[in-house]
Amino acid sequence: MSRLVIGPFNRVEGDLEVALDVADGRVRGAEVSASLYRGFENLLVGRDPLDALVLVPRICGICSVSQSAAAAAALAAAAGLVMPANGRLAQNLIHCCENLADHLTHFYCFFMPDFARDGYAGAPWHAGVAERFRAQRGSALADWLPARTDFLRVLGYLAGKWPHTLALQPGGTTRAITPTEKVRLAEVLREFRDFLETTLFADALEAFAALDSPAALAAWAEARDGDLARFVRVALALGLERVGRAGDRFLSFGAYAAAGGPLLPRGVWQDGAALALDPAAIVEDVSHAWLEDGAALPPAAGETRPLADPDAKPAAYSWCKAPRYAGRAVETGALARQLLAGQPLAASLVAAHGGSVLARVVARMSEVARLLPQMEQWLREIAPGEPFCAEWTAPQDAHGVGLVEAARGALGHWLTIERGRIAGYQIVAPTTWNFSPRDAAGQPGALEQALVGLPVGAGERNPPIVQHVVRSFDPCMVCTVH
C-alpha cells in the first residue's frame, strides 16, 4: 500500500488536500482534509441578530447570497415574519442568479480546464477541447466572462452589489424595482438566454430540459457543437458516467420559495425513492476534526471549539466536521435537487450507474436550463407598486432555522437569540456534507467514498481522474470551514 497526498487542489474554492491509499493500481481508501479554520460561528455570538446579515455572506464569496438567504430565513423564522410576494420573488431572482452563475463559473473556470491538460494530448478530442477550455487562455472564457458580467446585472439592479449584498432581509428585499427596471431586467435575462442557447447548449433551453434518458443525452451530444455537448462526448469517451459514485443517498433542503412550499422540493433520496426530510435527524460529529472532542450534536445545540494544538489529536485530519443524516453520510448538490424534483434524466443516469461525474455535471446544467425560464416567470410576476419588505421586530429570546440550497447543495443556519443578542449560531454547508471526514463509527464522507476504486497508474502523482471526481462535487472549502 502506498500513500499519495494531493494538494493544493486549485480551481476549487479554498484549501483542500486529499490523501489516497493505493494498492494494486486502485484507491483503497481516501482521507479528505480541509486545512483552513475560520471560525465564523464563534464570532457571531454576542452580536446583534441583524449583524448576521453582514457577517455570514463573507463566509463565501462564491455563494454569498446563499449564506445571506439562510441567515435571513433563520432570522425570519425567529421573528415569525412572513415576506410579501414581491420580496419572495426578488429574493428568488437574486438567489437564482447567483446559483446559475456559480454553476457556469464552475463549468468554465474550474472543471473543464482539466480536460485540456497535456496528459490527454493524443486523445482524438483533445486539440479542440484544449483550444476551448485551457485554463485562463481558452477561447471559452472570452465568451463566458463577459456573459457572466452581463448576467450579474440582475444582482446589480436587485441587490446593489455582489458578492456581499445586504439586500436580502428577513422581511424581503431592500430594493423595490421600478417598471423601467423590470423592462431592463427582462432584457438581461433575454441576453443570457441567448448566450446559453448559442454557446453552452447550442439548443433551446426547453429542448435540453426535456431530455429524459442516457441514450437521449448521448444522441443529443452527438448532434451539436455547444460547450456542454463537447463535455458530454468527452465524458462518455472517458467512461465518466461510471466514475465517482458515492453512497447514492442524497439530501436537499428545498430551493426557491413559492406559495405552497419550495419550488424544488426538500427531501432525502434513498434506494431510488424520495423520503420526507426530518431536520431533527441531522447531527454533526467531530471525532476526526481538529476540534475538541464531544458527542455528535444536532446543530441547534452544536459547538465549535478549535484545538490549540491540533497535533494532540492523532485521529483528526481536517477542520471540517462530519454531518450525518439519520446516522448516514449523504451527498448534496444539484443532482440531489433534480432527483427529488423528479427530473427524468437525473433519475435515469443515477439508476444506470449511481451518482457519477457525468450525472453531477448534467444535473447542474439541467438546472440552468430549467431555472432561467423560471426566472423569466418570477420577473413577470413582480408587481411594481406593491411592497417588497415586511418590517422586522427583534425578538428577545428565540430560535430560528434557515434551510436553503446553495449551488453546491444543502446549506443550513441554526440561530439562537437570547436577551436580544445572538447566543448560538451553527452552520452546516454543502461541502461539509460532501467532503466530510470519517465519523466516530469510521464511516467515510461522500467524496471519500467516491474516490475508492479509482485507478491510479504506477508513478502517477496527480491522476486526472481524481481531479474530475473531486471537482464534480464543485467543492467550496471556505464554506466548509466557515
Partner 1 sequence: MKILWLQASGCGGCTQSLLGAESRRGVLARLAGGGVELVFHPALAEASGDEALALLAAAADGTLAFDALCVEGALLRGPNGSGRFHVLAGSGVPMIDWVRRLAARARHVLAIGSCTAYGGIAASGDNLLEACGLQFDGAEPGGLLGADFRAGSGLPVVNVAGCPIHADWVVDTLLALAAGAFAAGDLDALQRPRFYSEQLVHHGCPKNEFYEFKASAQKPSDLGCLMENLGCKGTQAHADCNVRPWYGVGSCLRGGFSCIACTEPGFEEPGHPFMATPKVAGIPIGLPLDMPKAWFVALAALSKSATPKRVRESATRDHPLPLPSTKKGPRP
Residues in the annotated binding site: 41, 60, 63, 427, 476, 479, 482
| Ranges within 49-88 binding partner 1 (CB under 8 A) | 50-51, 53-55, 58-62, 64
Pairing of strands 267-270, 273-275: antiparallel
Using the Cα atoms of residue 198, residue 103, residue 14 and residue 95 in order, give the sign of their dihedral: positive
Pick 377 or 393: Cβ nearer partner 1? 393
The C-alpha atoms of residue 68 and residue 169 are separated, in whole angstroms, by: 8
Q: Does 58 bind ligand SF4 (CB under 6 A)?
A: yes
Q: Does 199 bind partner 1 (CB under 8 A)?
A: no
Pick 366 or 480: Cβ nearer partner 1? 480
Q: How far is the CB of 306 from partner 1 (least distance, A)?
A: 7
| Ranges within 156-175 binding partner 1 (CB under 8 A) | 156-167, 169, 171-175
| Ranges within 448-467 binding partner 1 (CB under 8 A) | 461-462, 467
User: What is the gyration radius of the CA atoms in the chain, in angstroms?
Assistant: 22
User: What value, to the nearest 5°, has the Cα angle with vertex 378 and ends 376 and 379?
Assistant: 65
379-390 burial: b if 16+ Cβ within 10 Å, else e: beebeeeeebbb
* 419 close to 395: Cβ distance less than 8 angstroms: no
Q: How far is the CB of 58 from ligand SF4 (least distance, A)?
A: 4
Q: Does 61 bind ligand SF4 (CB under 6 A)?
A: yes
Q: Does 119 bind ligand SF4 (CB under 6 A)?
A: no
| Ranges within 274-313 binding partner 1 (CB under 8 A) | 306-310
Number of residues that bind ligand SF4 (CB under 6 A): 2
Q: How far is the CB of 323 from partner 1 (least distance, A)?
A: 21
| Ranges within 108-147 binding partner 1 (CB under 8 A) | 109-110, 113, 116-117, 134-137, 141-142, 144-146
Query: For the window 361-390, what string marks contact with partner 1 as x by the rule CB under 8 A?
Result: -----------------------xx-xxx-
- Binding-site residues for Mg(2+), please? 41, 427, 482
The C-alpha atoms of residue 417 and residue 415 are separated, in whole angstroms, by: 7
SS3 category, 422? strand
Q: How far is the CB of 142 from ligand SF4 (least distance, A)?
A: 25
The C-alpha atoms of residue 71 and residue 402 are separated, in whole angstroms, by: 6
Which three cell numbers mark 44? 457571531
Q: How far is the CB of 299 from partner 1 (least distance, A)?
A: 20
Using the Cα atoms of residue 407, residue 275, residue 207 and residue 361 in order, give the sign of their dihedral: positive
Q: How far is the CB of 53 from ligand SF4 (least distance, A)?
A: 13
3-state DSSP of 340-371? HCCCHHHHHHHHHHCCCHHHHHHHHHHHHHHH
Pick 15 or 248: Cβ nearer partner 1? 15
The C-alpha atoms of residue 301 and residue 339 are separated, in whole angstroms, by: 31
For residue 471, list its beta bridge partners. none
Q: How far is the CB of 61 from ligand SF4 (least distance, A)?
A: 5
Q: Does 333 bind partner 1 (CB under 8 A)?
A: no
Binding site for ligand SF4 (CB under 6 A): 58, 61
